[in-house]
Amino acid sequence: MQSKWYPKKGRVIFHVDMNSFYASVEAAFDPSLKGKPLAIAGNPEERRGIIVTSSYEARKYGVKTTMPLGEARRLCPELIVMGPTFERYRTASKEMFKILADVTPLVQPVSIDEGYMDITDCADQGSPPEIAERIQQRINEELDLPCSIGIAPNKFLAKMASDMKKPMGITILRKRDLETKLWPLPIEEMYGVGSKTAEKLRKIGIETIGGLAEHPVLELKGVLGINGERLKNRANGMDDRLVDPDAVHEFKSIGTSTTLPQDTTNDTEVQTVIRRLSNKVEGRMKNKKVLARNVQLTIRYHDRKTVTRSRQLKEFIHSSEDLFQVAMQLFDDHWNQQPVRLLGVTASDLAEKSEVSQQLDLFNFEQYASKEKLYKTIDDLTEKYGKNPFRDLSNPTNPQVNTSFQKDFLDDFKK
């Protein structure tokens, strides 16, 4: 009986997706919020406030992720709006992944509220639907949180399956089901196809996932490059990526950005923001024990035009001061004098600190050595007082949620 679920050749993959995660965690913490239209906004009191997530009761009114807060309130006058409590979400995420790890060690977190599992070797625990039901029940009973689970032979199909029934859905998507379950869906509902890609595909007559699956690969590559062939393969149910528990440690860059309270052309304001962003990037680099040899600056103007400029460095850096100096030079070189709406700083071309031997020449040794004394003094004070006394003095108790999820803690559930 189990053999039909666990083929000799092939895999059984789960994609576990928490439903309306931030809002669900808040409702679990405060049951009086259950059944009410609730939204979590990145900054409820300021212009930059956007909807991070919303409860299903709010979604019935048309409230959506990334929607401006003002628009959401117009659609749903009774909307309850809360700021994020990230530590609460982090704790819930950690407990959720512990439950998944009780089933198999092959768990790959991909964000705070979703992850893949490879249960190919779990036949002794029951059929895949039975295992999925137990996982869903445990998460609901122990954490009071809903989730949906997709069951499929590969990661792409499992991801698509988990989106097909929400909340509290369990969906099986086999390759033989593609024609009836997957291919009729609009092309923009395919995982990996954003709005710009969907627009390009529609221009060559592709309206559905099935249309993509059947389209000539040469034309797709002409429009989308190598990504065109990859998307066609996915649409045909082909995906050989493994569930990799160590993938969380693979990162190519560390960055953060912020939208300014008001558009500005003030140099002092810009410097203050870039220094704050540089401090945040340095903190995450230090946590990961990495150095960077490339710094990237993102500038979004008042008209939403966005430019990204970067500089490749001769040697690795790791301090916020070095990040700040390069980022400010990029700003000075590329700012077009128009009001700035958003700024971002990213460190890339990363290498582990232990693997990099700093090549100090006659000209930079004295400067580098003098900085190291300063860094050591700051580290000593940080150890003594429990936090860096020179950072976040303006708003130490209000951490901001960035639009991109920071993966730094995703392996905490193993500890």
d(CA 112, CA 147): 13
Q: Can 130 be counted among the known catalytic residues?
A: no
SS3 296: strand
Helix (H) or strand (E) holding 23: helix 21-29
| 17 appears as a binding residue in the annotation | yes
d(CA 134, CA 116): 16
d(CA 183, CA 169): 20
Amino acid at 100: L
**How does DSSP assign 69-124, residue by residue?**
HHHHHHH-TT-EEE---HHHHHHHHHHHHHHHHTT-S-EEEEETTEEEEE-TT-GG
Contact 40, 83 (CB under 8 A): yes
Residue partners of 113: CB distance under 8 A and separation at least 6? 17, 18, 21, 89, 93, 96
The sign of the CA dihedral 235, 237, 240, 243 is positive
Sheet holding 340-352, edge to edge: 253-264, 340-352, 290-301, 306-317
Residue partners of 349: CB distance under 8 A and separation at least 6? 292, 293, 294, 312
d(CA 130, CA 352): 42
Q: How many other C-beta atoms lie within 10 A of the C-beta of residue 222?
A: 11
Token couple for 288: 């990961």
Helix extents (H) in 208-250: 209-214, 217-224, 226-235
> For the chain, how many helices (H) and strands (E)?
13, 12
Q: How many other C-beta atoms lie within 10 A of the C-beta of residue 199?
A: 11
Token couple for 115: 């992850």
Which position among 114, 142, 188, 214 bears the catalytic label? Answer: 114
Contact 16, 114 (CB under 8 A): yes
DSSP state at residue 61? T
Q: How many other C-beta atoms lie within 10 A of the C-beta of residue 337?
A: 6
Could you tell me which residues are annotated as the binding site?
17, 113
Catalytic residues: 114
Could you tell me which residues are annotated as the binding site for Mg(2+)?
17, 113
